[in-house]
Amino acid sequence: MRSRQRMFAAVMRLLLKCLRLGRRRRFKLVRQVEQLWHYGHLCLRSLLYNSFTNGDVVLDSLFEPVYWLVDHVTRWFGVVFVALVIGLTSSIVAIVYICLLPLILQTYTPAWICWHLAYGHWNLIMIVFHYYMAITTSPGHPPQAKDDLTGVSICRKCIAPKPARTHHCSICNRCVLKMDHHCPWLNNCVGHYNHRYFFSFCLFMTMGCIYCSISGWEMFRDAYAAIERMKLLEKERLQVAANQTYYQTPPPTFSFHQRAFHKSVVYLWVLCSSVALALGALTLWHAALITRGETSIERHINKKERQRLQKKGKVFRNPYSYGGWDNWKVFLGVDTPRHWLTRVLLPSPHLPHGTGLSWDLPPCVTEQRTPLLAI
């Protein structure tokens, strides 16, 4: 009896001992997991810690994949947009030469014929020249040798000094001198060396579209009425064909040449009017920026700086603005009065003032620049 009690007590002591060991091991494993969790959390926070981090930085980080996708899609679609511009412009020129020019030569007076031939071909030459120069001319980039380069800041993408008015293009993946924007219709950045070509192309393309819309208004009305008449006669012809007897004759059908002519005139007027409205608004916007002596990017920067200084009771002055008239002279490269003809009204590949690295006072400016800050 006593031996059984001793054996039972020994088994119970062994069981309690095993339970204590299992509980200690379980608590030890939980403590190890907690230590690993805290250590990993500390490492992650130490890697991602930044004293300048705020909500904007977090949003930029979250939208970084979206920016990457947009940049690469825009880079690929740039070739498509250039082909679209060339195709649409070529189609308008073809319609003018095939459909409208013979009609003009037959019905207009010699004075109007000379006007249309001179103005139309001059406008076309200016459009082709400035578009070709805008897409083939490099906007300008900071030099690779950084020894003599004076930068006002450091580009966080290139890890290199950035001169004044220089910004990084995420699509081209390079810093651009006096960057205005990346234009997908050019498949190129608009910067220091091709900004004039871009604006001149927009201006002359708008002028050409307005010219086609105004001069082709009467033709458009006649062509549109003819197309509506075609639809009615086609409907009558189908009705007569369905109920045709020996005493009924179907209405005459229009030839393919007539249909193509009227539809081409309608296509020309609608396309030119739409482009004139859209591109005209863009041209006016850039004209206002040029008058103020700033780019599209600098407009946002100057606006924030103006608001910041206004709170301090100060007035912001754009250091790169020389006055409305002088800003246009600097932008167009007009140094003498004859340059308005040779450099503005005629195709000219002349370079802009300066190198885009420093911004000294151009020789065509008559007044000294205003100070940056004024109290």
Catalytic residues: 183
User: Measured between alpha carbons, how far is 155 from 143 in angstroms, rounded to an integer?
Assistant: 14
User: Measured between alpha carbons, how far is 100 from 97 in angstroms, rounded to an integer?
Assistant: 6
Q: CB of 127 within 8 A of CB of 211?
A: no
User: Measured between alpha carbons, how far is 309 from 142 in angstroms, rounded to an integer?
Assistant: 30
Q: CB of 175 within 8 A of CB of 160?
A: yes
Amino acid identity, residue 191?
G
Exposure letters 207-237 (e unless 16+ CB within 10 A, then b): bbbbbbbebbeebbeebbebeeebeeeeeee
User: Measured between alpha carbons, how far is 349 from 193 in angstroms, rounded to an integer?
Assistant: 10
Q: CB of 328 within 8 A of CB of 353?
A: no
Residue 197 burial by Cβ neighbours in a 10 Å radius (0-12, 13-18, 19+): buried
